[in-house]
Chain A
Amino acid sequence: MAVVEVRGLKKHFGEVAAVDGVDLRSEEGEFLVLLGPSGCGKTTLLRMIAGLEHPTEGDILLGGENVTGLPPRARRIAMVFQSYALYPHMTVARNIEFPLKAQGIEAAERSKKVQWAAELFGIDSLLHRRPRQLSGGERQRVALARALVREPTVFLLDEPLSNLDAKLRASARDDLLEFQRRIGITTLYVTHDQVEAMGMGDRIAVMDRGKIRQLGTPEEVYHHPVDTFVAGFLGSPPMNLLIGPDFLFGFRPEQLLPEGISRDDGPRISLTFHVNRVEYLGSERYLYGHIQGFEANKIIAMLPGTVTLPLTADTDHRFSVAEAQIRYFAKDGGDKIPPQPLPL
């Protein structure tokens, strides 16, 4: 097991800075998620750590050793790709065996390790099949077995769940996490799916335009976003933002509750919420509208299904938000600022 560290890492493709100065250090055995919209540089960052791209600038350290100039095969890393990249002309067994062969391990030892890895992922009955005869979930397991059979020190995953259907994804997420906890391998996981990031990451690095905007636990990035990008990227629906005269402020959709059913969590701020449309989703209700005095800003309130209060559209309602749940951002640049007197 080893710590992954990158220092001042940059990657330029011509004029474009895909990764634009990233400093990041994982903990030992940590599950670290790189989260961001497509094109934010998260995959490029991962590929540089794997050795598949050469950084324009900066250093990569694995287990304290500088590996920046080394080819992938010298790095003791394993990587699982979005498409799984199984070798289509080889059986499952030969796919898993391939990295061992490349290491020059002898045949008897190889077949023992292949058996071990196959059992670990419950694919020992598939060893003689070819990749095209496998389902999506089985392919993913083969890819994981192939990645882990030579016991790497760092495990890199590039959107490994995005090719699975929604139902399978939830159970695959669970399996993957359980497995990572069991062997305690340092894992870097790239995704654009915030549900995966929040559910799996010990910490999340939120990336945008080649830079890490925030690094923290899921709670930290969700409840204390450092800027409007993180506030808007995380959460579904995202944080409601209101543009005040001197600064921006916002709150999560689930914090906006009808007056009267509000929980007891300190002083609350009352406001008039004009509801334009109600969306009933079973487990919750989305209310779309705007707040009196801030007609230009669209607001969404998310009520749990347990709140059965009748709320009609095209009507003003009295709502409130706990003062402690309001976040403040600078009007210029959108960075987090300390609490300000509210213009409400």
Chain B
Amino acid sequence: MSPAKAPPRRRYLADNPRFLAALFMSPAVTYIIALVGFPFVLAIVYAFTDITTGNPELEFVGFETFRRVLADPIFREALGNTFWFALIANLLVVVLAKALALVLIQDFKGKRIVRFLVLLPWVAPVSLATITWLWTLDSIFSPIDWVLRQLGLITENMYWLGRPGLAMTSVIAVHTWRIVPLAAVIMMAGLISIPSEINDAAAVDGAGPWRKQFQITVPLMAPIIAVAVLFGMILTISDMSVVYVLTRGGPTNSTQVLSTWAFFKGIEGGALGQGAAVALFLLPVLVGITAVILRMARRREVL
């Protein structure tokens, strides 16, 4: 046997884990700083100025911008709308997604195709999906109205997006439709993670389906449900595309939410400072919700 060649003693740059860590993280960090961090800082700066698109000079006015935003009745309406919209949509999402997750983990013929179809609302681009809803809820040609008319349930059109209550209902329904698939998939993972022997034990211990569902399955899934709600909350509170495409906040601001109001005020209305202040108002709300939900999830996990 010939003597083995001595292994090279040189250290390469790629042997240095610190360098590798920095190298691999840099694209993500650059991206976040450029597209999230910079606008975020800019928004904070703008919120303390009275900058407009007509007068792009930074003149600091302290909390004056916030005071003016808060005094606006439309802002308060948008705040209330955001609250109810997020609350109701997420309640619906939790219930429907839980039921859907139960169906999806069952073994049946065509399971794969059903799973694929269920995921479609989530993977379709928001604006495209919402435009199809815009047509579906059209004031004259709505197929829903047509079906209801054929069934003899209505005599004249509903104007789904034209009446305050109905418009909000439509927005909530479309958002629920969009988020349920994501929540269902998250909950499916939670359901699957429950050991099968726990379910067997509950069955042998004499628990019927309802008792098993509400005393075993739901408590054990609580952390996962909390995560699904967290995603749902962030997606409903911070998303503006559904409202923007369907109603543009109308009629008479009845579907105006904080994100659309920030957009209309700051971009379309040109009051950049006020738009930034409205958008910043979302920050403590989302941070608060996130903190509460994550704390709930963790308490459940360490029990």
Contacts and interface: CB of A to CB of B under 8 A. Distances in A.
A79 B201 contact: yes
A52 B303 contact: no
Contacts of B200: 47, 50, 52, 79, 81, 85
Chain B CB within 10 A, most for which of A72, A77, A83 = A72
B197 interface: yes
A77 B216 contact: no
Contacts of A87: 198, 201-202, 216, 220
Nearest to A103: B206
A101 B216 CA distance: 13
Contacts of B216: 87
A79 to B, nearest CB: 5
Contact of A78 (B204, B219, B300): B204
Interface string A279-317: 000000000000000000000000000000000000000
B205 interface: yes
Interface string A60-78: 0000000000011100011
A82 interface: yes
A89 interface: yes
Interface string B195-236: 101101111111110010001100110100000000000000
A131 to B, nearest CB: 10
Given A87-B198, A89-B303, A73 B207 contact: yes
Contacts of B195: 83, 85
Contacts of B300: 89
Contact of B220 (A51, A79, A88, A130): A88
Contact of A88 (B204, B208, B211, B303): B303
Contacts of A88: 220, 303
Nearest to B212: A102
Nearest to A130: B303
Given A89-B303, A130-B303, A146 B205 contact: yes
Contacts of B202: 87, 98
A232 interface: no
Contacts of A79: 200-201, 204
Given A83-B195, A88-B220, A89-B220, A102 B201 contact: no
A85 B303 contact: no
Interface in B168-213: 195, 197-198, 200-208, 211
A99 interface: yes
Contacts, number: 64
A77 B204 contact: yes
Interface in A249-278: none
A50 B200 CA distance: 9
Interface in A143-162: 146, 150
Interface in A83-103: 83, 85-89, 98-99, 101-103
B207 A85 contact: no
B297 to A, nearest CB: 13
Contact of A98 (B205, B208, B303): B205
Contacts of A78: 204
A71 B203 contact: yes
Interface string B100-127: 0000000000000000000000000000
B207 A102 contact: yes
Nearest to A76: B206
A52 B204 contact: yes
Interface string B142-164: 00000000000000000000000
Contacts of B208: 73, 102
Contacts of A50: 200, 204
A296 B286 CA distance: 76
A85 B211 CA distance: 17
B197 A83 contact: yes
Nearest to B215: A98
A103 B203 CA distance: 12
13 contacts: A52-B203, A52-B204, A73-B203, A73-B205, A73-B207, A79-B201, A81-B201, A85-B197, A87-B198, A89-B220, A98-B202, A102-B207, A130-B303
Those 8 A-B pairs whose CB atoms lie nearest each other, nearest first: A102-B206, A85-B201, A73-B206, A85-B197, A99-B205, A81-B197, A72-B203, A79-B204
